[in-house]
Amino acid sequence: MNQSHKGLRQRLVGNTAALSLAQLVRVGFNTVLSLLIARQLGAAGFGKYGVLTAYINVFQVLAMAGVPRLVIRGMARAPEEEREWFRRTVASQVLTAACSTGILILLVHILSHPPDTTRALEIAAMSLVPFGLSSATEIAFRAREKMGLITVTQTASMVTQAIGSVWVLLMGGGIVGLAWMVVLGQVVAAIVGVRIADRMRLWNAFRIDLKGAMYLVRHAKDFFLVSSSVVVFSRLDVLILAQMVGEEAVGVYNAAYLIIRVVNFLSVSYSDAAYPVFSRLYDGARGRFKSLLHQSLLFGTAATLLIAILLAVVAEPVIGLLYQGQEYLISARLLRIEAPFTVVFVWNALLSSGLMAADLQHRSVVVSGAKLGLGLVYYLVLTAWLGVTGTAIATVVAGTTGTALNYFFLSRELHSLDLMTLAAKPLMAGAILVATLWAAQSLPWPGLVVGGTVFYVLLLLALRILSVEDIRHLREAIRL
* Residue 296 resides in a domain: yes
* Residue 21 resides in a domain: yes
Crossing angle of helices 221-244 and 388-413, in 10° steps, is 160
Crossing angle of helices 3-64 and 286-313, in 10° steps, is 70
* Residue 452 resides in a domain: yes
Confirm if 103 and 153 have CB atoms less than 8 A apart: no
Whether residue 271 is found in the same domain as residue 160? no
Distance, CA of 359 to CA of 114 (rounded, Å): 44
pLDDT of residue 199: 81
* Residue 224 resides in a domain: no
**DSSP assignment of 281-303:** HHHH-HHHHHHHHHHHHHHHHHH
pLDDT of residue 446: 86
Whether residue 317 is found in the same domain as residue 399? yes
- Looking at 159, 184, 219, the residue that finishes a domain is 219
- For residue 79, the surrounding DSSP H or E stretch is none
Distance, CA of 393 to CA of 383 (rounded, Å): 9
* Residue 241 resides in a domain: no
Whether residue 215 is found in the same domain as residue 259? no
* Residue 233 resides in a domain: no
Count CB atoms within 10 A of the CB of residue 6: 14
* Residue 236 resides in a domain: no
Whether residue 297 is found in the same domain as residue 416? yes
Q: Does the CA dihedral 464-469-473-476 come out positive or negative?
A: positive
Q: Does the CA dihedral 250-371-283-8 come out positive or negative?
A: positive
Distance, CA of 388 to CA of 331 (rounded, Å): 10
Whether residue 172 is found in the same domain as residue 309? no
Ranges of residues in the chain whose predicted pLDDT is under 50: 1, 3, 474-480
* Length of the chain (residues): 480
Report which of 199, 206, 226 is spatially closest to residue 68, judged by C-alpha positions. Answer: 226
Distance, CA of 244 to CA of 246 (rounded, Å): 6
Domain residue limits at 278: 246-480
Distance, CA of 258 to CA of 50 (rounded, Å): 10
Please state, in angstroms and as integers, the Cα–Cα distance from residue 413 to each residue in 109, 183, 401, following that order. Answer: 45, 43, 19
Report which of 79, 302, 5 is spatially closest to residue 13, judged by C-alpha positions. Answer: 5
Whether residue 287 is found in the same domain as residue 151? no
pTM assigned to the model: 0.74
3-state helix/strand/coil string of 371-385: HHHHHHHHHHHHHHH
Whether residue 85 is found in the same domain as residue 169? yes
Whether residue 209 is found in the same domain as residue 277? no
Q: Structural domain tally of the chain?
A: 2
Whether residue 261 is found in the same domain as residue 301? yes
Whether residue 411 is found in the same domain as residue 274? yes
* Residue 163 resides in a domain: yes
Whether residue 327 is found in the same domain as residue 402? yes
Q: Does the CA dihedral 132-118-48-376 come out positive or negative?
A: negative
Whether residue 62 is found in the same domain as residue 142? yes
CA angle 96, 101, 106 (to 5 degrees): 125
